[in-house]
Chains A and B, each alone.
Chain A
Amino acid sequence: MTRWTRKDLLGLEELSEKEIRLVLETARSFKEISARPIKKVPTLRGKTVVNLFFEPSTRTRVSFELAAKRLSADAMHIAVQGSSLAKGETLKDMARNIEAMKVDILVMRHPSPGSCHLLARSLKSSVVNAGDGSHEHPTQGLLDMMTIQEKKGKLEGLKVSIIGDILHSRVARSNLWGLLKLGAEVTLCGPKTLLPVECGRLNARTTCDLEEAIAGADVLNILRVQLERQQGCLFPSIREYAQKFCITPERLRKAKKDLLILHPGPMNRGVEIAPEVADGPYSVILDQVTNGVAVRMAVLFLVSQVNRAKEERDEVSV
């Protein structure tokens, strides 16, 4: 059995296949807790989890908060408007102050890639990345994989197409690393301007042809079009994006009959995904959300065990 040895969860790129499987297995065992009438276990009683969010979020924030509470940890949320630097305080100082209040786990979302790495390096508390700019969103990648595995029974050999704004998507990156490590075949599809440069070197197929991405795919993971990141020149209009890239029932006519449709949310209905598809038989979008809580419980549990083991060792040595 693999042991979890990481204080932090920063991304899926650096995890091994075994570590990813361990999180997914742990998440499966935690999932049942949320289905009980009394949705609480004492696993993390006495631990403190702080959500430090520099970007607005509903789903991820609530999901982490519920995950912590269902494990009996004390959870609180701090929403920071804009950059901490605006107030003159550096991110590190802010995090150190929070740590000084003896917080065990810091869950952070931040617009800057690598910001969680910065904190992980300088804090003793565990740091969990809840999305760092366009870099990674590891718990989203994990919950997507959990959902696929649950429905398909496996990930090996599955054809997964990630469709949309790959350039700005941390979800795409985390999915890519995780899926490749677990043996899936990945296709990245989007308009040329939203495919990052040299993404051909990522061990994934890349294409601008939506039909090609749909044909033979077992899973479509449809990304949100991030209107706020388009800088005015990446595609002409929402209208044209929808015309060319919206996943509609017509476009799915030639798709596999047991196709799964994933979307990390929040959806722009009628832009990247047609309402009939979002609510249709292929859609597992709400299963993703359910699994999100289980995955986050697993992650909070696993990282907390590392510092706990260390604390116990320290006590012994005293």
Chain B
Amino acid sequence: MKFLFKGGRVIDPKNKRDERCDLLVERGKIVQVGKHLSPNGSQVIDADGLWVVPGLMDMHVHLRQPGREDKETILTGSRAAAKGGFTSVLPMANTDPVVDNRGAVEFLLSEAKRVGLVNVFPVAAVTKGLKGEELSEIGELASVGCVALSDDGKPIHNAKLMRHALEYAAMFGLPIIAHEQDPSLFEGGVMHEGYTSTVLGLRGIPSVCESIMVARDIELVKFVGGKVHFAHVSSERSIELIREAKRQGLAVTCETAPHYFSLTDKDISCFDANFKMNPPLRSEEDVEAVKKALKDGTIDCIATDHAPHTEQEKDTEFDAAPFGIIGLESSLGLCLSLVHTGVLTPSELVSRMSLAPATLLGLPKGTLSIGMDADITVIDPDETWTLRSEDFESKSKNSPFVGRTLKGRAKITMVSGRIVMKDGKITKGD
């Protein structure tokens, strides 16, 4: 099957391309990019006024399967990803059972293949059972297809263990994705510690809770090498530390999530637990710092931390509700606001959402180079639409953005030359 994307704005930061041209896909690969390509028997997709970009990658999602299929499954999570314009996702290992062994990885991969929508690249646990005690069999996990390691959700408190994890994982070239949070500073907290937590009487999570561990792991990387990727960075001070570490040439990278540049702790005034996530929504200063760091590249990429929870779990006392919100279907619309408000250029945004995560993970994705898998997202940057709870493909609806009007959305998601989403409809056809 051949497809010709005709007349779109092709944005491919890897090849420094941002121009109106055509793109030809054949047998699942990108075969030609240029002006006035002839259809030659291919299906023509009119991309006039649309962006044609390398498929978006979300390197931080929770698909909940196995264990909490009431919240999400590989199928529903893949559908949500496709709808949001993502061609690749990296599910975190904190399922039940934990992805800390070959069998669990093989299950994920085979289930993802059966679903057949988007690429699923498993992240395995750093430690067995996420217990923070013994290393998982990292070598075997790498050999069966894990692309990174993380105890996300259960930060690694033990500095010695983290040191050895870095050393050991480096043999296999795997980065450790670190959820940074000091346990004692975190204890009992449910929102950012600041004026709003003072007014609401909710227990605060100070921003130093994150930055103190960022500082520790920068020190460890400096000491033993290895690669750390800081997950969902939320605070200004963490960003400063990472900026400085990068200046020193250390192998550290980081991501943020759309909510950390779209909302602040002030938005929690109604005690709605759909605004409860970890790290918490922070101050306006933090939001500004996140935007600045996205611009200057201190923050490499945007990931959603898509964290589905059931309605009854979230529609409860703020203290009792679990942390986390879904993000796959709102991410692109929120991220495009960075372009509409002049924070990022279109090319920079595509880099943060596609090229950068692929590069830091060493995956052959994120570009529209000839010969690459045809993972392509077609975006209408200007369409305004309203995020509605009933439209989610995700099994869960826990989003603070429901009801918000967004500008820009994915029109087509193509994975390896197959259209898996078109105009909001999930398709499996080729």
Interface residues of A, Cβ cutoff 8 Å to B: 13, 83, 85, 90-92, 110-115, 117-118, 132-136, 168, 170, 173, 196-199, 201-202, 231
12 A-B residue pairs with CB within 8 Å: A83-B320, A90-B315, A91-B317, A111-B319, A114-B200, A114-B271, A118-B317, A133-B201, A133-B202, A168-B201, A173-B201, A196-B198
**Interface 0/1 of B181-220, CB less than 8 Å to A:** 0000000100001110111111110100000000000000
Determine whether the beta carbon of A117 is less than 8 Å from that of B270: yes
- Report which of A92, A113, A168 forms a contact with B319, defined as CB distance below 8 A: A113
Minimum CB–CB distance for A2 against chain B, Å = 24
Closest to B184 in A: A233
Cβ-based interface call for B312 (8 A): yes
Cβ-based interface call for B405 (8 A): no
Interface-centre pick from B206, B270, B316, B317 (highest chain A CB count, 10 A): B317
A32–B200 CA distance with the chains assembled, in angstroms: 35
Cβ-based interface call for B323 (8 A): no
Cβ-based interface call for B51 (8 A): no
Minimum CB–CB distance for A237 against chain B, Å = 20
Closest to A172 in B: B201
Determine whether the beta carbon of B317 is less than 8 Å from that of A135: no
Q: List, in ascending order, chain A residues with CB within 8 A of B200's CB.
A: 113-114, 135
Q: List, in ascending order, chain B residues with CB within 8 A of A136's CB.
A: 201
Cβ-based interface call for B318 (8 A): yes
Interface magnitude class on chain B: 20 to 34
Minimum CB–CB distance for A122 against chain B, Å = 8
Q: List, in ascending order, chain A residues with CB within 8 A of B202's CB.
A: 113-114, 133-135
Minimum CB–CB distance for B184 against chain A, Å = 9
A199–B204 CA distance with the chains assembled, in angstroms: 13
Determine whether the beta carbon of A197 is less than 8 Å from that of B204: yes
A122–B68 CA distance with the chains assembled, in angstroms: 27
Determine whether the beta carbon of B201 is less than 8 Å from that of A135: yes
Closest to B192 in A: A197
Determine whether the beta carbon of A112 is less than 8 Å from that of B318: yes
Determine whether the beta carbon of A170 is less than 8 Å from that of B201: yes
A168–B206 CA distance with the chains assembled, in angstroms: 16
Q: List, in ascending order, chain B residues with CB within 8 A of A83's CB.
A: 320
Determine whether the beta carbon of B201 is less than 8 Å from that of A115: no
Minimum CB–CB distance for A192 against chain B, Å = 14
A198-B198 contact, Cβ under 8 Å, with A90-B312, A117-B270? yes
A91–B270 CA distance with the chains assembled, in angstroms: 17
- Report which of B193, B195, B197, B271 forms a contact with A117, defined as CB distance below 8 A: B271
